[in-house]
Structure 1
C-alpha cells in the first residue's frame, strides 16, 4: 500500500525529472562578446565575457563606460538604495558598468539591483576558476522583475575580476568598451533564425512573454520574410517516456505515439484540465501548418495561425481543441487535408516523421548548443541571449546581416545610431552636391564610394571619390573643371573617358582644378597664311584675310578670293559650252552608226528567208516559200 502511494507520488514527477536529466546531459555553448579595456595601460587589451540570458544585450552595437566597484554589498543581493549608493552618472559623465561578485543570490537579482541604482551594465566576477558559463534566469517564483531588466549583463573570469578590483583599489580609472558587433555571425544578405516555442498558454510568465512577442513581432517577421530578407523556422521541444513507464497513466496522458513524444502537463496535476498530450498534438498541428504554408511559398502564415489560435482557442476558456484549431485553419484558407495528412495518427505505435525531425533538431551542431529550454531564439545558428522582446530580437536579427545589406527597418532611429549624421562619419563628402561616401549600417558606418543615379564613384571612400563610366559628367561634372562665359559652357569632363579630366581643345591645365585659355595667336598655332590677321577668343580664335575681298578657310588655314569663287570668266564658260557640244556630236554619231548596223542586219535576215544570197550554197531540194507575219519582222 505504501509502495503504491509512493509510486503515485513519484510518477507525476517523472517527466520533470527526465527534463532535468536531459538538461544535465545537454551540450551547452556559451555565447560571448568582447570587452576591451582602454585604460589603465597595465590592463589594456581585449577580454571575453559571457552574455547573460536576461536583460538586453546591444547586438550589433557597442557601449563605452567606466567600471565601478561598490563600497558596500559587493554581491549586489540587496537594493543599493538601502546603503545610500547611486551609480547614475552626472550630466556628461560616462555610463557606469557596475562590477559585482558572484554568489548568495540569483544573477537576475544582481542585475535588477544594479539597474535600479543607475548602472548601465553589470559585470559579474566569477568566484571560481572555470570556463565562462551563461548566467541564466531562475524558474522559481518571486522573480517577476526578470522581465523588467533592460541593462545588459556579462560574466567575467575570476582572474579578470580580481585584476579589475586591484586597479580600482589603486585609484586607477578603468575605462572599458563592451562590443556586441561580432556576437552573431553575419555572412550574407539573408538572416536565418529559429524560434523554439510551445503552444501551451498556461505556463505562467514565460508563456505570456512568448505570446506577447508573437503579437508584437508578427508584422515585422512577415514583412522581412515576404521581401526575402530572412528565413524563419519554428520548432517545438518534446521528450520521450522511458519504456518502463510507457503504459502508465502519466505517460499516456502526456505522450502520443506510444510514449515517443511527450510534453509536461500544463497544470502539473495529471488529472484536471488539459494534458501534455494535448500540447504535443497542438505543437504538431502548428509545425504542419508551417510546412504546408511553406510548401505554397507562404511560410509567414505560421505567424497568423499561432496568433489567431492563441486569441480564439485559449486553455482558460476551454477552447484548446482540435476543432477550434480547424476553424482557424479554415479561416486562413490553408489546406486542412494536407495538414491532417502531415499530423498523421497520434495513436500509432510508430515514429512520427515530423516530430522525429524536431527531436533530432534539438541536438546542438556546430556553434549552437542543445536546445533544452523554452523559449529559445537561434539567429544564424547562434543562441540569442536576452529578453524575448520585439526591439531586442530585431536588433539581434539585424546584426546577422552583412554590412550595407540590412533592410530599412534595421536603420530606424530607435534601433541604431546613424554615425553619418555627425561629421559625415569621417568619410568623403562633396559639399557641392552633398554626395557622400558614408553609408549607415546596423553595426556602424562604412566609408564606401557611392553609386548615384547609376554612376559609380571610385576611390578610397575616406579622402577621395570620383565619378566613373558613362554618365559621370552629369554628376557634378565628373569632379572636373567647367566654366561658362557669355552663354558658352566649357567642361573638362568627357563621357567618352571612363575617368579623369582633360581640358578641351583651346584650353590647357590639369582639367580638375583649372583650364586656361590658349592664345593661339600669340603661340602662332593657326592663322599663318599671307595677309591673315589673328584675334584670340575664349577657347578659340578668329582669323580674317586682308583687303576684305578674301575668305578664310579654317581647315586649310588659307584665304581664297571672294570674286574668283563667285563670278566665273567667259573663257571658262566657252570651254564648257564647247565641251558639251563635242560630247553631243560624238553621242549622235555613235547613235547613227549603231542604228544603221542594226537595220542592215535585220534586212539581211528578212531577205535570207525569200532568196539565197551569193555567199550561201543552193540547197539540193526546193524550198517552199513561207509567208511571214509582219509582226515577226
Structure 2
C-alpha cells in the first residue's frame, strides 16, 4: 500500500478537488503560434500549432528551419545517438526541426532526446483526430526533473492531419521548409504590459515548486525595474478549491480548508498524519496576497517579490519554520504594517466568505482571450497564458513582446537593469550603523541579504538578523568578522583594553579567526585577558626605550669619530698632491721636471 498506509479518503480528496476544478472551470485555452510552410507548394500555407509548456519559446520572434522525420525511433522515446542519428545543421544550412510522433513516452522526453541530437526545434504530430492540446511536463516525476529543467529548444504539437501532410511531403523527397512565428502570441497594444503569476507558497510540491522558487529569485530584479519604471502592472494570484459539501465535516477537509471548507489546498506532503496541512498553505497564500495589497497601498507593490523570496529562504517547510511566527519576522524586516495585513486576512475560522480568497477563486475563471487557470505555476501576459519554461530570459522575452513596438524599456533592449533597493530600510537586511557595514547587496536580481566582505574581511551569518564570526564571538553589535584584516573592524570580536595609554588586543590578524591573549596575559581572549600590570608594562617599555637611546648615542658618537678621521686623512692626501705642482707657503720651491719641446 503506497505512502505508508494512507486512508482511501486521504487519497480521494485531492482527486475530488481536481475533478471539481476541471468540471467547474473547464475552459482551458491552448496558446498557439503560427507555423508557416514555405515549401513545397503542395502544402504551402499557415497552420496552427500548440506551444509546449516547457523549453523556451521565442516570444516576439520567429525561427526558420528544415523539417526532418527520422527513419528510426520515430516517437523519440530513445536516445537518437544510440542509433547514430544526428540533427546538427552544417555550417550555412538552416536549423533542423525534428518531427516525431506522439505516444509511448512523455512529451518532454521526446523533446529532450531530439535536443541532445542537435535539433533546433521539435514538432510532435498527434496520433488522433482531436483539438490541439498543450504539451505539459510530467507531474511529480523525479526521474524527469533533470532533463525538464535543461530543455531549451522550443516545441509545438501539430494536429494529425497536418502531421500526415508533412510526412507525405518528406516521403516524396521534398524539402520541407517552415517558419515558426511567435510574434503574435502575445498582444502588444500599448506602452504598458499587464502580467500576473499564479503561484503557491507550498515549497514541498516537488520539481515544479523548486523551479518556481528559483524563477522568483532570478526574475525579481527585472520585475522590480519594470514595476518601478511604470512599464508593467504585476498582480500575484493563488489557486484554491472548495471542499465538496458532502465532505466539509470530514477530517480531511478540516485539515485542508479554511472558512469551513470554502478555500482548500492539497496536503503538502500528501500525508495527513504528519507535517503541514493544506490549510497552512491556504493561510500563507492569503498572507502573501495581503502583503501585496498593503504594499500596493503604499505604491510599492514590488515589495511582494522581496517578501515571497525572503519567506522561502527563511521559512522553509523542511526546517519546520513555515508559518505565522517566521512570516511576521519577514514582514517586520521589510517595514510593512503588520496590523493592516492581519486586518486584510480576516478570520480564517469564520463560517463566511473571505473577500480576498473569494475574489481569487472568481479570477481563476477565464475571461476574454484567457482560459481558466488550472496549472501551477501559470504566467499570464496581456491576458494570454504564457507557455514554456519559467526561466528569467524566456519570461522577460515574453513580457517584452507585449509592448507596442519601439516602446520597449531598456531592459528589453540590452538587459541592463539598475536598482537601488538598499537605500530604503536597508532592504530589510542586517546592518551595523556604527561601523557603517551592511548585508544588503544590490544586484541585477534585486537586493539580496548576504553578510559582506569589508576590506578583505568576510562576515558570516544569515544576512537578515545577524552577521558574526563564530558562536563564541561576543561583541556589542552581534557582528564580527574573520579573515585577513579582521582586527581593524570591531577588534575582530576579541578582548581589548587600554592601560595607562598603552592599547592591548587579543585579536590576531589571520584567517583562523582565533582570539589569543598577548604575551604576558592569560585568558580566553574573547571576554578577558589578565596578567601583566600596567606599571610593569610601562617599566618594560621604558627599558626598551633606554636601550634604544643608548644604542643610538653610541652609534652617533662612533659616526662622528669616523667622520673626523676620514676628513683628516683626505686633507693630508690633497696637500701631498697639490705640493707636486705648486709650492706651499711652508715649503721651498721645487724644480720643474717637465720637458717642454722648443721650436
Q: Does 1:294 align with 2:296?
A: yes
CA distance in 2, matches of 1:80, 1:132: 26
Contact residue 59 and residue 399 of structure 1 kept, 8 A: yes
SS of aligned partner of 2:105: coil
Partner of 2:50: 50
Map 1:501-516; keep pairs closer than 5 Å.
Answer: none
| 1:386 equivalent among 378, 385, 388 | 388
- Aligned-pair distance for 1:413? 7.4
CA distance in 2, matches of 1:42, 1:328: 63
SS of aligned partner of 2:260: coil
| 1:253 equivalent among 252, 255, 272 | 255
CA shift digits 1:444-491 (9 cap, x unpaired): xxxxxxxxxxxxxxxxxxxxxxxxxxxxxxxxxxxxxxxxxxxxxxxx
Contact residue 12 and residue 270 of structure 1 kept, 8 A: no
- Aligned-pair distance for 1:302? 0.2
Map 1:345-356; keep pairs closer than 5 Å.
Answer: 345-356=347-358
SS of aligned partner of 1:329: helix
Contact residue 31 and residue 383 of structure 1 kept, 8 A: yes
Map 1:89-488; keep pairs closer than 5 Å.
Answer: 89-141=89-141, 142-144=143-145, 145-412=147-414
Change (3 A) 1:242 1:324: same
Contact residue 15 and residue 241 of structure 1 kept, 8 A: no
- Aligned-pair distance for 1:275? 0.7
Contact residue 10 and residue 271 of structure 2 kept, 8 A: no
Moved more, 248-257 or 19-28: 19-28
Partner of 2:555: none
CA distance in 1, matches of 2:391, 2:365: 25
Partner of 1:536: none
Partner of 1:40: 40
SS of aligned partner of 1:298: coil
Count of paired positions: 410
Change (3 A) 1:24 1:78: farther
Map 1:78-89; keep pairs closer than 5 Å.
Answer: 78-89=78-89
Partner of 2:541: none
Partner of 1:517: none
CA shift digits 1:364-408 (9 cap, x unpaired): 111111111110000000110000110010011000000000011
- Aligned-pair distance for 1:230? 0.2
- Aligned-pair distance for 1:140? 4.0
Change (3 A) 1:414 1:228: closer
Bigger RCO (CA 8 Å, 6+ sep) = 2
Partner of 1:530: none
- Aligned-pair distance for 1:158? 1.2
Q: Does 1:13 align with 2:4?
A: no
Moved more, 379-388 or 8-17: 8-17
SS of aligned partner of 2:379: strand
CA distance in 1, matches of 2:351, 2:133: 40
Moved more, 95-104 or 406-415: 406-415
Change (3 A) 1:232 1:353: same
Higher CA-based Rg: 1
- Aligned-pair distance for 1:414? 11
CA distance in 1, matches of 2:284, 2:20: 25
Change (3 A) 1:321 1:83: same
Contact residue 184 and residue 380 of structure 1 kept, 8 A: yes
Change (3 A) 1:139 1:369: same
CA distance in 1, matches of 2:256, 2:90: 56
- Aligned-pair distance for 1:16? 2.8
SS of aligned partner of 1:143: helix
Change (3 A) 1:20 1:243: closer
CA shift digits 1:113-164 (9 cap, x unpaired): 1101100000111111222111111114221211111111111121111111
CA distance in 2, matches of 1:123, 1:260: 42
Q: Does 1:29 align with 2:21?
A: no
CA distance in 1, matches of 2:197, 2:140: 23
With normalisation by structure 2, the TM-score equals 0.67
Contact residue 138 and residue 144 of structure 2 kept, 8 A: yes
- Aligned-pair distance for 1:54? 1.1
- Aligned-pair distance for 1:347? 0.7
SS of aligned partner of 1:267: coil
CA distance in 2, matches of 1:178, 1:196: 28
The alignment's C-alpha RMSD in Å is 1.6
CA shift digits 1:285-344 (9 cap, x unpaired): 000000011111110000011111111111111111101111111111111111000000
CA distance in 2, matches of 1:277, 1:117: 46
CA distance in 1, matches of 2:96, 2:415: 24
CA distance in 2, matches of 1:317, 1:8: 27
SS of aligned partner of 1:290: helix
- Aligned-pair distance for 1:197? 0.3
Point out where structure 2 has 5 or more consecutive residues left out of the alignment: 418-599
CA distance in 2, matches of 1:104, 1:21: 29
CA distance in 2, matches of 1:360, 1:283: 16
SS of aligned partner of 1:47: strand
CA distance in 1, matches of 2:334, 2:151: 37
Contact residue 377 and residue 384 of structure 1 kept, 8 A: yes
Contact residue 38 and residue 44 of structure 1 kept, 8 A: yes
CA shift digits 1:512-553 (9 cap, x unpaired): xxxxxxxxxxxxxxxxxxxxxxxxxxxxxxxxxxxxxxxxxx
- Aligned-pair distance for 1:240? 0.7
With normalisation by structure 1, the TM-score equals 0.63
Contact residue 31 and residue 51 of structure 1 kept, 8 A: yes
Partner of 2:594: none
CA distance in 1, matches of 2:60, 2:23: 31
